[in-house]
Structure 1
Amino acid sequence: MTALLEHGAAATTGTPLLSVRDLNVRIPTPSGTLHAVRGVSFDLQPGEMLGVVGESGSGKSVTLRALLRLHRPPIQTSGEVHYGGQNLLTLNDQGLRGVRGGQISLIFQEPMSALNPVLTVGEQITENLREHKGLRGRAAQERAAELLDLTGIPSPRARLSDYPHQFSGGMRQRAMIAIALASEPRVLLADEPTTALDVTIQDQILRLLLKLRSELGMAVILVTHDLGVVAQTCDRVAVMYGGRLMETAPVTELFRQPLHAYSLGLLRSLPGVGAQRVPLVPIPGGPPDLRVTPGGCAFHPRCAYGDDACLGAEPPLVPVAPGRDSACVHADLLPPPGSVA
């Protein structure tokens, strides 16, 4: 893990490119309203790669889609998403179309579901080029081929006429990246772009994202459940649980010393790479039912450090160290992840 941490760079500070405040997403269900995202707030700096991690059901993908207002009624989204001096959650439809897919692009988690099966890959790339860059005809075709070549797809001009089912899983993911990059966005939202890919293709995709971030100067929010991916690629990490942010920190500092019991649990469930053999410590139980408002810390029922101080009001996410926020009342008592407790 130490070797991977060297890839992380210190996040720049200054005026945020994207600022999210008190983001909430409520999803009606037959058995009650599911509060999937609860008061999420964070900033994304220019050129920064922010990793968002957590178990399945923690609200990562729902948060990412809410940033671009992709949830439709009866799902309710509230809060503020500030970009370019505008709140995207209150922006009119015409203004939002200029941002969504143009200045902020999204790589969906399942390319086979996100890609249109009855349109060629070339048509799906040129649609973005036509809408956001004003390119048509031969110019659009040439740029589409350049984008496929940029993402490492061989014989890009020939593959423009292929349909998604004619691409392998890794190539479909690269095609999704090409579509997302067609508008040369300032922010790229990547929803588990390496899920279900073999380790060789996963490594290629991650290296590609790092290369493109460097070449295009864009900021990236990378949603994943894989802490190894975060260690390899990200500058800063936000840990989600039960629809809330539990901790935010520079990636090297989080791996060295987590300041939330849930972050510690995630790290202890990973195999180490050192000579010393340390038993894995799985997190007991399962994620909370977000149709019921938890009392106190949502992680308390599964936490080895939980006590009466964790009950009552839900602990807020507050600064606990320079550049670090935590919602754990026992942040100063947690041991390093490599220790045996």
Structure 2
Amino acid sequence: MTGSPSPVLSVRNLNVHIPTPRGELHAVRGVDFDLQPGEVLGLVGESGSGKSVTLRALLQLHRKPIRVTGAVQYDRQDLIGLSESRLRTIRGAQIGMIFQEPMTALNPVLTIGEQIRENLHEHRGLRGRPAEDRAAELLDLVGIPSARTRLKDYPHQFSGGMRQRAMIAIALAAEPRVLLADEPTTALDVTIQDQILRLLLRLRKQLGMSIILVTHDLGVVAQTCDRVAVMYAGRLVETAGVTDLFRQPRHAYTLGLMRSLPDIGAHRRPLQPIPGSPPDLRDIPQACAFSPRCAYSTQACLGAEPPLVPIDDGRASACVHHAELPGVAEVTA
């Protein structure tokens, strides 16, 4: 009998400390998760919860004085503390990344073709006509018409959706095993967003990739992800399969996110925004970080921050009241 496959990426006790003039910001706090082969893992939460900082930490893209600790196991090696020369053989080649804003991530003075060929040369050793042909194939793969002609264009000559597709083409140039997608549909209209998400799922199937998808849009999560990790104040507060999460959240913050979504069903209800603001990560309370905003907070939530622990249905939650939470559709009077 064969066991379950080994994770393609395993993250343990990941911490990111960012110095600021007003004190050190503990932006990512003890994050643990595994990414399985062929899986799409959604990383969700409010703006400022640490999602993008986590993604960049996986590839050691933070520079001093930012301090990253913990372990990021990939291909039987820990990426934390790996030499820069060794990391360069992994970034792009084995782990690709789509950055959040393509207009700032793309080089404005290089053509799209030059930027794709640079990746192909660095990680696949392709030059000349083979690199040109492969670059055209990649643009065609991501759905850009007249691909060979568009290789000569600069980023400003592409629309927002096409720049995002070009970023995906660059990230896929070396056919990585893992793709880190940092809000790849931000600021795109819903039609282009749907096209980009369908493209990522199709490429996942074609190339056998695993994907970490950072987003604050739960609709995107429902459409694309296999499993979800919910982040709040720099740490994970719940992990679950996407169906289980939407059926019954097991953390009060996740429930709050669900209830703040517009209801398009037959029985409409008022939006229920989460009150208050996230905590200052320079001065994190010695309690559940969500408790000041939580309608279910009790004395049990204070005194120490609840750890993320497995619960009886195979999920994990950092809420002491996970078993008592109502369903999304249950509205209190």
Same fold (TM > 0.5): yes
Q: Could you report, residue by residue, the CA deviation over 1:67-92 in whole angstroms, capped at 9, with x for unpaired residues?
A: 00000000000000000000001212
Q: Is 1:23 aligned to residue 14 of structure 2?
A: yes
Aligned to 1:43: 34
Q: Which one-letter code corresponds to 1:211 in the other structure?
A: R
Aligned to 2:158: 167
Q: Is 1:229 aligned to residue 220 of structure 2?
A: yes
Give the secondary-structure state (helix, strand or coil) at the position aligned to 2:145.
Answer: coil
1:67 is aligned, of 33, 58, 76, to 58
Q: Which one-letter code corresponds to 2:71 in the other structure?
A: E
CA displacement at 1:182 relative to structure 2? 0.1
Q: Which one-letter code corresponds to 2:193 in the other structure?
A: Q
Matches for 1:1-341 after TM superposition, within 5 Å: 13-341=4-332
Aligned to 1:8: none
Greater alpha carbon shift after TM alignment, 23-32 vs 322-331: 322-331
Q: Could you report, residue by residue, the CA deviation over 1:170-228 in whole angstroms, capped at 9, with x for unpaired residues?
A: 00000000000001000000000000000110000000001000111000000000000
Taking the aligned partners of 1:338 and 1:255, their CA distance within structure 2 comes to 11
CA displacement at 1:313 relative to structure 2? 1.2
Taking the aligned partners of 2:179 and 2:16, their CA distance within structure 1 comes to 21
Residue segments in structure 2 that go unaligned for 5+ positions in a row? none
Taking the aligned partners of 2:250 and 2:191, their CA distance within structure 1 comes to 33
CA displacement at 1:278 relative to structure 2? 2.1
Kindly, what percent of the aligned residue pairs are identical? 75
Note the aligned Cα RMSD (angstroms).
0.9
TM-score, normalising length: structure 2: 0.98
Taking the aligned partners of 1:311 and 1:16, their CA distance within structure 2 comes to 35
CA displacement at 1:162 relative to structure 2? 0.4
Taking the aligned partners of 1:51 and 1:83, their CA distance within structure 2 comes to 19
TM-score, normalising length: structure 1: 0.96
Q: Confirm or deny: 8 A CA contact 1:250 1:323 kept in the other structure.
A: no
Taking the aligned partners of 2:5 and 2:314, their CA distance within structure 1 comes to 13
Give 4+ residue runs of structure 1 displaced > 4 Å after superposition. Answer: none
Q: Which one-letter code corresponds to 1:95 in the other structure?
A: R
Taking the aligned partners of 2:315 and 2:16, their CA distance within structure 1 comes to 25
CA displacement at 1:13 relative to structure 2? 4.5
Give the secondary-structure state (helix, strand or coil) at the position aligned to 1:321.
Answer: coil
Q: Which one-letter code corresponds to 1:101 in the other structure?
A: G
